[in-house]
A and B are shown apart, each in its own frame.
Chain A
Amino acid sequence: MNQEPDYVNLDPRVEPVAYALPRNPTTRRTARLMQQIWKYRLAYLFISPAIAVVLIFIGYPVIDSLILSLDRWDGLGKSTFIGLDNYRAMFSNTSGLLDSLRITVIFTACTTLGTATLGFFLAVAIAERVRGWRFFRIVNFIPVLLPMTVVGVLWGMLLDPTNGAVNTVISSLGFSPPLWLASPSTALWTIILVSIWQYTGFPMIVFLAAIEGIPLELYEAARMDGANGWQRLRYITWPLVQGVALVLVMLQVIFGMRTFDVAWAMTQGGPGTATTLLGVKLYQSAFLYSDYGYGSTVAVAMIVIIGTIAFVYLRLVRPLVATT
């Protein structure tokens, strides 16, 4: 019954013109595909500039990183093929890459957890519609918009150990203030705090939209059943924003793993290697030590790690969220 017709109409507006299709199944399929492509030629025309720029500025660099990672290249002369030497160097104990990875993971985990938790509670508080909630929503989002350079320089000054405004206050209260960026043991935590300061507004605004999307009847019903505020938060709000929370965490993890600016603007990776995130490591290898091959190896490591996270997100987390 479902036999394919021997012709297709290319254009529904041109009524009875039919195009004969070949009888052979393979050529028939190809012909059908060609007809489809011809039918949607405008769509291809519309999408080709976008594909072109994405292939040139994202696709090609990814492949070129793979190739460069097998080379030694100082950025000026000819590159020489050295096989897997860069990878061997990367996994050796002296390269500092594992240390960089550890720093990046700590940075990412703490900023993700910090921004998501704070953002959630700020969103809950604003959704309560307390007096001035609009003000809080607008103001708390501002840091997200600020350039990291400005944020880095500004907090760097405020947190200056000797004459920074923060430590002046702390010591006037009689406490001994931390050295913040100046000490290897606190520098990483300082840039984590600054990042949390900057990015908490993003989860806040997303959680807020999710909470505002919850039907008020649910809360009314729960109130009738005698659920108190905490219970309503725990058993209505939280389960209904869990999916959004998962998406946010994945996004923040992806952003966190590729961070460069905050460390560069505040510490340039130091003191020592205390804040050498993977992004900083890549930058240093290539543009400070002119070892573009090794820098590309770090790039490949980043692509693999973040690609894996993104794959897990798209394949496992998103379908999960979509079904709940």
Chain B
Amino acid sequence: MTSYFTPEEGDAFTEIFNIGAGKAALALSELLDAPIVFSVPFCVVLPLDEAVDYFRHRFGADICVVSQDFTGPFDGSALLMFHEASSLALAQAVLHSDEPVQAITELEREALTEIGNIILNACLSSFGDLLEREVATSLPRFLAGPSGAMLRGARGHEIVLVVKVDFSVEGREIEGYVTFVLNVDSVSTFRDAASRLLGRLH
């Protein structure tokens, strides 16, 4: 998890996100009316510049993002990032549509925004509940463009907590990332959340 967090705290983050992912998976399966297999293979913390390089290599071309700013115990932005193809597959699954499409329609944008809203809120709630504090979130925004511009345009601007999320819906494999772009000041609050979880385990 780099020098920002100890390996033990890193394990705690993965567990916190697993709790959030579990809630997100339940919500998504309700939305799609289909079983979902959802996993969080890893999470990692990177300085902003390294995160921009990381995603440039993984995504290459433009991506689709649902973004929400958050304030409260920690400040920053949460971004759900997908390849455009994964976004289309997900939107069509929600809308129960089999029509082949080349571009995202207005209704699909709305569907993706609502999916992002549900997934990001599920992840943020797992931190807020652990800290027993309210995390206030802005309205979700749907954006498309290069990943670097998305990360640099986020509200936080120093470190990026990257969480890989994989899920499969009715045989369709969908790969995405939840990222939290934070200021360094917020790191101590994240560390507090990790400590609370570790404290419960010890």
A and B are partners in one complex rather than unrelated chains: no
- Which B residues contact A (CB, under 8 angstroms)? none
